[in-house]
Structure 1
Amino acid sequence: MKSKDIRAKFLNFFKGKEHLIVPSAPMVVKNDPTLMFVNSGMAPFKEYFLGNAVPKQNRIADTQKCLRVSGKHNDLEEVGYDTYHHTLFEMLGNWSFGDYFKKEAIAWAWELLTKEYGIDKDMLYVTVFEGSDDDDKLEMDNEAFDIWKQYIDEDRILKGNKKDNFWEMGEQGPCGPCSEIHVDIRSAEEKAKVNGRDLVNMDHPQVVEIWNLVFMQYNRKANGSLEVLPNKHIDTGMGFERLCMVLQGVQSNYDTDVFTPIIREIETITSSKYGEDEKIDVAIRVISDHVRAVAFSIADGQLPSNTGAGYVIRRILRRAIRYSFTFLNQKEPFIYKLADTLGNQMGEAFPEIKSQERLIENVIKEEEQSFLRTLDQGLLLLDKVIENTTSKTVDGSRAFELYDTYGFPLDLTQLIAREKGYEVDEAGFDSEMQKQKDRSRNASATETSDWVILREDDTEEFIGYDTLTADVKLTRYRKVVSKKDGDQYQLVFNLTPFYPEGGGQVGDKGLIEVPNGDIVYITDTKKENNLIIHITKQLPSHLEDTFKAVVNDEHRRLSASNHTATHLLHQALRTILGTHVEQKGSLVKPKSLRFDFSHFSKVDADQLQQIEDFVNARIRENLPLEEQRNIPMQKALDEGAIALFGEKYGDSVRAIRFGQSMELCGGTHVKQTGDVWHFKIKSESAIASGIRRIEAITNVAVGEYFENVDKQYEAVKQVLKNPAEPVKALQNLQEENASLKKQIEALLKDKAKNLKGDLKNEITDVNGIQYLAKKVDLDAKGIKDLCFELGNQSNNLFLLFGADNNGKAILSCYISKELVASNGLNAGTIVRELGKFIQGGGGGQPFFATAGGKNPAGIEEALKASEDYLK
């Protein structure tokens, strides 16, 4: 059975069980500070389990893109070395929100596996929670045990501990016992030797967990205690790749048609063969897995970068590159070429991977080129480290420096060191790594208490599109203690005019007026799992009172101005550059805006002017805001609305139109474009291959910008003695400056020429070497010219010149090439060592090098010390 048919059968089965089939949520998580990426099938449904939102239907099924590379669920280092762990994987799942429970979940799982998919029941084992005698004092899940006895022999039902059979989403939140289904795909001969039940949960590559049925019935509180949930839920997750392995009768996930097309393409491009050499096999598995994770992340809007989620994606890609570099001998980019195969393989189920294919290729190719250059640089640095290592062990701190500063991975350092007869102090490396982790953890450590619920029946509602003030009641609050931000409180109201950070727009600021006259300042507003959270340094008094919420009008008005400008900018870019332009990110603040978009070349000055003029023309037209708050998604798209990749939309959406600009957007906007006042582009740049960034300002910031420009213009005029034509005066000044520079250069050449004759007479013989060390009154270029002119007239020449240029010290060393070859002298090494006298450093080639420093007083000592190299 082909993988696409396996996927379809799962979804159709649960559709027949009255489940709503929903598309996969974007893999990159927004509005959840506890997650960077969706790491399990239940993550997109957290708000339903937490009771913060109501699902469209109580029964749902889907296939969800998941990424496990950080935090509690981190499979990265296993990937490639075994045949069943992955970074990106699909999780097939069925969900019940307060509807069916264990009886139905177990029955349907058994029916699908044994009847629909035809898996022999003698290949299956199941586990149930055995209970715990720790602080939770949980009893064994006898209910699940008794249900399973109806379907499978009792000796195939195993009791599992809390680690394996009690599922928790994190330190806090919904949790419960789980029942895993394991499959044994070993041969009959192997099964005769070892009973399969003894290999369950033992990391055996052919006895693997295939499906986990989680029975959500508890809530873990901040103090560690458990409370029973008012409604019981079902959360199941089945590994799609593992299921394909079982149904396609192979012994590895990588032998399924999920991976074989990518593996065949890697073999073709790299002239390697899968299945003959374990090191090559590991590398091919790493690359075929990692390219999927990186490609889907880019398609969902997360580009590789140096921070946060972007750093995780860069790390995954760099792991793939270093395996291709080390084991497949690939010194040029090639992983980007796999995007086409991946698109053909998965584009039907996940159309974003096909529609974003060109962007994926460009981003991966640029990352490959960059990291391959880093590897080359790291090899040179590692050579120097080994050269300066007196023992046969490379210091762990130096290995960590290569990793931390230059991105050079430890395993590659170990491999190269081993080839040269050295080993690496891995314990020292681990120690430095742990210190860094501790510093990072301590800097960001937070402690979040449980929510204190004041009102259960109120609906948290955003009313900020229509008003900036409202009478509100507090429904819940919690305290957050952070080493970085200190003590804070997070407040949730029954309704709020405060806009929470989202869609690139920063959250509102403002205040809460308490009836007794107290003022509580709201420093930020965020969204977390469907809750609008108001952040403050103090808790209001009289928690049961009605408060008056007041949004900072200036902050909101200017943010709205910049948000509207991003829509007009998007329209301008698509009109002037082409409809291939798509928004790839934005940041909307009161003082500025930032807009990232797909485009494959620099936007030139004429185009930038056209874009700016286009936006300002729409501003002058004073186009009114046309807002549709609950328009069906498809209807909005049919009317021409632009939806952004990586965003999660519901069936009903909010559409914003200004003239011909129409986008799906939840942000705040001006009532008419004239309120933006004016739009000014400050810069345009590249942030990744195929991704450009425009930074701009509107409204008050534009006024401030032009005021500053006017002040600078007046200051320039004063410097120029207030000429009638300042531009012409500047041109005259530039021409005069160029003429004087030419005169100075001619004088310096004459000076060097005269100096050359004098210095030639000062050259002495030291051990058969023509030697001169002297302080001269020339700039760096003049010294270089002098060195080569003298060098052309003498053999076996060693020169060291020092100069004081406006308080900065220069040392330049010239050595005849025949001396470099015969005596092993190296100008680069010499100036680096002599640079300590002038409190600086430098380098260059063996026959000519220069050092700079901040201590001209040390020049004479350096000149004297140079003679030591000739003795």
Structure 2
Amino acid sequence: MKSQDVRAQFLQFFQDKQHAIVPSAPMVMKNDPTLMFTNAGMNQFKEYFLGNSKPKSNRAADTQKCLRVSGKHNDLEEVGMDTYHHTMFEMLGNWSFGDYFKKEAIQWAWELLTEVYKVDKDSLYVSVFEGSADADNLKMDAEAFDLWKAIVPEDRIIMGNKKDNFWEMGDQGPCGPCSEIHVDIRSDEEKAKVPGKDLVNQDHPLVVEIWNLVFMQYNRKANGSLEELPAKHIDTGMGFERLCMVLQGVKSNYDTDVFTPLIREIETITETKYDLDEKTDIAIRVIADHVRAVAFSIADGQLPSNTGAGYVIRRILRRAIRYGFTFLDTKEAFIYKLVNTLSNQMGKAFPELKSQKNLIENVIREEEQSFLRTLDQGLGLLDTVIKVNKGKEIDGDKAFELYDTYGFPIDLTELIARENGMTVDMKGFTEALEKQRQRSRSASEVQTDDWQELLDDTNQEFIGYDYLKADVRIARYRKVESKKSGTQYQLVFNLTPFYPEGGGQVGDKGYLESSNGDVTYIVDTKKENNLVIHITESLPTNVNDSFKAVVDEHQRQRTASNHTATHLMHQALRTILGEHVEQKGSMVHSGYLRFDFSHFSKVTTDELKQIEDFVNARINDSISLEENRAMPYQEAIEKGAIALFGEKYGDVVRAIRFGESMELCGGTHVQNTNEIWHFIITSESSVAAGIRRIEAITKDAAKEYFATETAKFNEVKATLKNNKEPLKAVVSLQEENANLKKQIEQLLKDKAKNVKGELKNEVEQIGDINFVSKKLNLDAGGIKDLCFELGNEIDNLFAVFGSDAGGKAILSCYVSKNLVEEKSLNAGQIVRELGKYIQGGGGGQPFFATAGGKNPEGIDEALSKAKDFIK
């Protein structure tokens, strides 16, 4: 059975059971600060499990794109090593929100597997929660046991411990016992030797969990205790790739048609063969898995970067590049070439792969080329370390520096060290890595108390489009403590005029005023699981009081001005640069706006001027806002509304129109474009391959910009002799300055020649080394040129020079390249040591390095110590 048919049959089965078939949510999380990525099928339904909102249907089913590479669910280092772990995977699931429970979930799972998919009943085992004797003191799930006993023989029911058979959303939140269904796909001969029951949950590659049925009936509180949920829910998850392995009669997920097209393409591109050598096989599996994770992430709007979710994606891609570099001998970018195969294979089920194909290819290619350059640089640095150490162990801190500063993989360091008869101090490396992780964990540690519920806030209403003030009550609150922000409180009102951070727009600020006049400032507003959360640094004295919630009107107006400007600029970009332009991200603050978009080249100065003029023309046209808060999604698209990639839209959407500009948007906007006042582009740059970024300002910031620039211009005019024609005066000064620079450069060259002659007479021979050190009246550039000229004329040269040109202490060290290898002299290490005397530091290459410091008086002592390095 083809994988496409497996997916289709699952959805059809549950549609026949009156489940609403819902699309996969984006893999990159947008409105849940507790998660970077969707790591389970239930993530998009958390608000229903938490009781924050009510679903349109009490039954749902889907296939969800998931990624597990960070936090509690971290499978990254196992991926490729075995045949069934993945980073990106599909989770087939069915859900009940307070509707059916254990009986239907168990019966339907068995029916689908054995009657529809025709999985051999004798190959299946099920597990039931055995209870726990810990603080929770939970009883065995007797109800599930009895339901399973009516379907399968008792000897195929396994009692599972809390680790395997009690599922929790996180440290807090809905949880409950679960029943797992395991499948044994070993040969009959293997089954005869060891019963499958003994291999369940033992990480056997052919006895694997295929489906998990979670019975959500408890809520885990902050203090660790459990309480019964008012409504019981079903949350199931079945690994699509594992299911395909079973139904296609193969022994590895990578042997299914989910992966074989990618593997065949990797074989062709790299001229290797799968299933012949274990190291090659691991590399091919890593690449086939990781390209899926990276491609889907980029399609959902997450580009590789150095922070947050972007760092995770970059790490996954670099792991794939590293495996190709090390084990497939690929020294040029090639992973991007797999995107076409992936798009053809999965584009029907996930059309974003087709629509974003060019972007995905460009971004991956650029990332590959960049990291391959990093690997080359790391290889050069490692080569120097190996030569300096000469057969000794590579220091753990040095290995960590290569890893942390230069991105050079530790396993590659180990491999190259072994090839040179050396080892790596892995204990020291691990300690350095753990210290870094500890610092990171400590900085991000957060302790969140349970919600203190005061009112029923299930139907919390947002009124911020129409009102900036409202009389409110606190429906619930909780305390949150973190190293980063200290003690804060999160408040939820029964209704709110505060816009929560989302869609690129920052959250509102403002204050809460009690009936007796006490004020509590709201420093930010966010959205979590469909709740608008107001963040304060103190708790109102009487939380049961009535309050007046007031949004900072000035900040809201400036933010709305910038948000509307992004819509007008989007229209300008598509008009001036072409219809290929798509928004790839935005950030709307009160002070400025940032807009990322797809485009193949740098936006020219003339084009930027056209974009500015286009937007300002619409500002001057005083176009009024046309808003429809409840338009059917399909109708909005048919009317020309732009829907943004990576967003999940409902059946009914909010459409914003300013003249010919129409977009689906939940943000706040001005009522008329003339409120923006003026639009100024402040910068244009590259974010990634095929992605450009424009930053701009409007309204008050634009007024401040003009006032500041005018004041600067007047200052410049006041300092010029010919202030009636300032441009001519500045050009004249530039020409005069250029002529003077040429004269100075010639004088310095003449001076350096004289100094070189003097220094050649001062060279001291110590053994077979020619040594010279002196304080010079030259700048850093002049000293560097002098060092290399002397090095070309004097063999075996070791030179150290000092200078206090410009009042700053400078030390420069030159070592002939043959001395670096033969005498273990290293200019970088030498200047670091000598730099202590000038209260500074520095570094460089083994043959030339410089140090700067703030103590010129220490130069003479540093020079006197230089000779010690020879002794």
Q: Give the TM bin, normalised by the shorter chain.
A: over 0.9
**C-alpha spacing 1:482/1:833, structure 2 compared with 1 (3 Å):** closer
Match of 1:241 in 2: 241
Q: 1:93 to 1:754 in 2, by over 3 A?
A: closer
State how far apart, in whole Å, the 2-side matches of 1:795 and 1:312 are. 50
1:213-612 pair list within 5 angstroms? 213-389=213-389, 392-456=392-456, 459-612=459-612
The alignment partner of 1:424 has SS state of: coil
8 Å CA contact retained: 1:840, 1:854: no
CA distance in 1, matches of 2:728, 2:436: 57
Q: Distance in 1 between matches of 2:387 and 2:136?
A: 57
In 2, distance between residues paired with 1:607 and 1:618?
17
Q: Does structure 2 retain, via aligned residues, the 8 Å contact 1:458–1:475?
A: no
Report the secondary structure of 2:569's partner residue: helix
- For 1:95-106, list aligned pairs within 5 A: 95-106=95-106
Deviations 1:588-608 (A, max 9, x none): 111111111111211111111
Conserved? CA contact 1:480–1:489, under 8 Å: yes
Cα distance between partner residues in 1 of 2:399 and 2:800 = 35
Using the alignment, how far apart are the partners of 1:758 and 1:108 within structure 2? 93
Go from structure 1 to structure 2 and tell me whether the alpha carbon gap of 1:747 and 1:362 turns closer, same or farther (over 3 Å shift): same
SS in 1 for 2:716: helix
Work out whether residues 168 and 175 of structure 1, in 8 Å CA contact, stay in contact via their aligned partners in 2. Answer: yes
CA offsets 1:114-150 (integer angstroms, 9 cap, x no match) = 1111111011111111112222222211211121122
Task: Read off the aligned partner of 2:425 and give its amino acid letter.
Answer: D
Q: For 1:33-112, list aligned pairs within 5 A.
A: 33-112=33-112
Q: What is the DSSP-based 3-state SS (H/G/I as helix, E as strand, rest coil) of the residue aligned with 2:533? A: strand
SS in 1 for 2:250: coil
Summarize the Cα distance change of 1:719–1:213 in structure 2 as closer, same or farther, 3 Å threshold.
same
Q: What TM-score do you get using the length of structure 2 for normalisation?
A: 0.94
What is the alpha-carbon distance in structure 2 between the residues aligned to residue 869 and residue 138 of structure 1? 70
Q: Which moved more, 1:671-680 or 1:683-692?
A: 683-692
> The residue matched to 1:181 in structure 2 has which SS?
strand
Question: How far apart are 1:514 and its partner, in Å?
Answer: 1.2
Q: 1:796 to 1:645 in 2, by over 3 A?
A: closer
Cα distance in 2 between the residues matched to 1:473 and 1:119: 55
Shift of 1:625: 0.3
One-letter code aligned to 2:284: I
Summarize the Cα distance change of 1:827–1:137 in structure 2 as closer, same or farther, 3 Å threshold: closer
Q: Distance in 2 between matches of 1:229 and 1:823?
A: 74
CA distance in 1, matches of 2:375, 2:666: 44
**Are the structure 2 counterparts of residues 823 and 498 from structure 1 closer, same or farther at C-alpha, using a change threshold of 3 Å?**
closer
8 Å contact 2:52–2:458 — kept in the other structure?
no
Measured on the aligned residues, the alpha-carbon RMSD in Å equals 2.7
Question: Are the equivalent residues in 1 in contact too, given 2:622–2:674 (CA < 8 A)?
Answer: yes
Q: Do the aligned partners of 2:53 and 2:458 also contact (CA within 8 Å) in 1? A: no
Report the equivalent of 1:807.
807
Q: Deviations over 1:47-101 (max 9, x none)?
A: 1111111112111110000011111111111111111110110000111111111
2: CA distance between counterparts of 1:107 and 1:240? 20
Which deviates more from structure 2 when the two are superposed, residues 94-103 or residues 540-549?
540-549
User: How far off its partner does 1:724 sit?
Assistant: 1.2
Matched letter for residue 397 of structure 2: S
1:512 CA drift (Å): 1.6
Of 615-624 and 371-380, more deviation after overlay is shown by: 371-380
Shift of 1:680: 0.7
AA of the residue aligned to 1:712: K
Please tell me whether the aligned partners of residues 33 and 528 of structure 1 are also in contact (alpha carbons under 8 angstroms): yes
Instruction: For residue 354 of structure 1, report the CA deviation from its aligned partner.
Output: 1.4
Q: Give a deviation string over 1:468-491, Cα, whole Å, max 9, x none.
A: 111222222222222322222211
CA distance in 1, matches of 2:743, 2:427: 63
Distance in 1 (alpha carbons) for counterparts of 2:115 and 2:558:
61
Question: How far is the alpha carbon of 1:220 from its aligned partner?
Answer: 1.3
Kept in 2, the 8 Å contact 1:511–1:550? The answer is yes
**TM-score normalized with structure 1 length:** 0.94
Deviations 1:649-677 (A, max 9, x none): 10000000001111000000000000000
Gaps of 5+ in 1: none
Q: For residue 133 of structure 2, what is the aligned residue in structure 1? A: 133
Corresponding residue SS for 1:82: coil
Q: 1:749 to 1:375 in 2, by over 3 A?
A: closer
Deviations 1:299-351 (A, max 9, x none): 00111111111111111111111111111111211111111111011100000
Q: Which residue of 2 aligns with 1:648?
A: 648
Specify the alignment match of 1:690 in structure 2.
690
SS at structure 2 position matched to 1:41? coil
Task: Tell me if the contact between 2:457 and 2:493 (Cα under 8 Å) persists in the aligned partners.
Answer: no
Q: Which residue of 2 aligns with 1:630?
A: 630
CA–CA distance in structure 2, aligned partners of residues 401 and 605 of structure 1: 41
Match of 1:719 in 2: 719
Distance 2:246 2:412 in 1: 35
Residues 716-725 or 756-765, more deviating: 756-765
Match of 1:175 in 2: 175
Distance (Å, rounded) in 1 between the aligned partners of 2:137 and 2:100: 26
Compare 304-313 and 557-566 and name the one that shifted more.
304-313
Deviations 1:702-740 (A, max 9, x none): 111111111211221222246211111111111121222
Length, aligned pairs only: 870
SS of residue in 2 equivalent to 1:91 = strand
In 1, the alpha carbon distance for the partners of 2:484 and 2:423 equals 39
Note if contact 2:721-2:729 (Cα within 8 Å) is conserved in structure 1.
no
- In the alignment, the residues of structure 1 paired with residue 768 and residue 195 of structure 2 have an alpha-carbon distance, to the nearest angstrom, of 83
| Cα 1:252/1:784, change in 2 over 3 Å | closer
Cα distance per residue 1:549-586 (max 9 Å; x no partner): 11111011111001001111111111111111111111
Counterparts of 2:458 and 2:843, CA distance in 1: 69
Equivalent residue letter for 1:564? T
CA distance 1:281–1:717, change in 2 (3 Å) = same
Which residue does 2:618 correspond to in 1? 618
Give the whole-Å Cα distance in 1 for the aligned partners of 2:556 and 2:388: 59
- Give the 3 Å change call, closer, same or farther, for CA 837–664 of structure 1 in structure 2: same
Structure 2 vs 1, CA of residues 124 and 592 (structure 1 numbering), >3 Å: closer, same or farther?
same
SS in 2 for 1:54: coil
Structure 1: distance between partners of 2:229 and 2:819: 84
Using the TM superposition, name which of 717-726 and 161-170 deviates more: 717-726
Please, which moves more after superposition, 411-420 or 23-32? 411-420
Amino acid at match of 1:53: S
Q: What is residue 24 of structure 2 aligned with on the other side? A: 24
Return closer, same or farther for 1:870/1:84 CA change in 2, 3 Å cut-off: closer
**1:478 partner SS:** strand
Cα deviation 1:791-818 (Å, max 9, x = unaligned): 8888888776654422245566778899
Q: Which residue of 2 aligns with 1:144?
A: 144
Distance 1:471 1:751, change over 3 A: closer
Other structure's SS at 1:806 match: helix
Pair 1:83–1:869, CA change in 2 (3 A): closer
Of residues 354-363 and 765-774 in structure 1, the stretch that sits farther from structure 2 once superposed is 765-774
d(CA) in 2 for partners of 1:402 and 1:771? 32
Q: Provide structure 2 residue ranges, at least 5 long, that are not aligned to the other structure.
A: none
Secondary structure, aligned partner of 2:499: coil
Conserved? CA contact 1:832–1:843, under 8 Å: no
| Distance in 1 of aligned mates of 2:171 and 2:757 | 80
**SS of structure 2 residue aligned to 1:423:** coil
| Shift in CA distance, 748/639, structure 1 to aligned 2, threshold 3 Å | same
% same residue? 73
